[in-house]
Amino acid sequence: KGKETSEEVVRRYLQKVRNPPEEDCTICMESLCGPSGYKGPGVGGISRAESVGRLSQCGHQYHLQCLVAMYNNGNKDGSLQCPTCKTIYGVKTGNQPPGKMEYHVIPHSLPGHPDCKTIRIIYNIPPGIQGPEHPNPGKPFTARGFPRHCYLPDSEKGRLVLKLLLVAWDRRLIFSVGTSSTTGETDTVIWNEVHHKTEFGSNLTGHGYPDSGHLDNVLEELRAQGITEEECLRD
C-alpha cells in the first residue's frame, strides 16, 4: 500500500470504458466524451485527461482524473466510495483521533426494552493535535463531554450493533474532528455519522430511549460506512 499511487488505487476498482456514453461526469459536470473538468492540483502526470472508468460493482462511470482528485481529497486509505450510490470499494476508514472504547453490561433495563439488561459503552478521547488527516493539521483539537456514555439493549440485535460498533471504532469511524453542530465549536471531536444513545432513563435530548427504530437505524448507518454483519463474518 505504501508505494501505490492514488491512480493505482483508483484503477483497482475500475473497468475500462472504450466508448464513453453521452452523459456528464457527475464529479466535474463535463461530458464523459470530453476531458475531465478537474483543474486542481495533484493530477499532473496521470493518465490522459479523457480516460473514463466504470466502477466495477455499481457500474457508475467517471473521468479517471475526477476519481483520482476525489480520492486525493479524502484520507487516502486505499478505499473509494462511489459519489452517486455510495458503494464502498475496499475498507473505508475515518479520522477518529486516538482514544479508548470500553463496554460492560449493567443490570437495568432501558425504556422500551423491559426484558433485557443494558450495554453501556464508554468512549474516552483526550484533546490533542490534529494530524494530516484532520481539517487543520498541526492545530490543537478540543474534546468535550468525555467520557461519553452510550447505551444499547443487551438483546441479540443490541449485541450485533455492539459488535459492529467495535469494528467501526477500529476503523476510526465513530468520531471525527470538525465543527460541532450543537455548540458551533470548531476543531473539536464530534460524532461521525453513526447515531448513539447517550441518555439512559429518559429522552429529554432526543438521544435517549424509548426509540423503537434506533437499532435498525444504526445498522443502516453502519452499512453506509461499509460495516455489515456479512462483511464482518468474511474477515
Binding site for ligand APR (CB under 6 A): 144-145, 148, 180-183, 190-191, 195-196, 198, 205, 207
Q: Cα–Cα distances in Å, from 67 out to 14, 35, 48, 95, 195?
A: 10, 13, 13, 20, 29
Distance CA 158, CA 210 (A): 14
Among 9, 10, 14, 28, binds Zn ion (CB under 5 A): 28
- Report whether 225 contacts 231 (CB < 8 A): no
Which partner from the list ligand APR, Zn ion, none does 172 bind, CB cut-off 5 to 8 Å by kind?
A: none
**From Zn ion, ligand APR, none, interface partner of 27 (C-beta below 5 to 8 A by class):** Zn ion
Burial 171-189, CB ≥16 within 10 A → b, else e: bbbbbbbbebeeeeeebbb
Q: Does 27 bind Zn ion (CB under 5 A)?
A: yes
Is residue 53 within 8 A of residue 16, CB to CB? The reply is yes
**Nearest residue relative to Zn ion (C-beta):** 25
Output 61 or 188, the one with its CB closest to ligand APR.
188
Residue from 52, 66, 68, 121 binding Zn ion (CB under 5 A)? 66
Binding site for Zn ion (CB under 5 A): 25, 27-28, 36, 63, 66
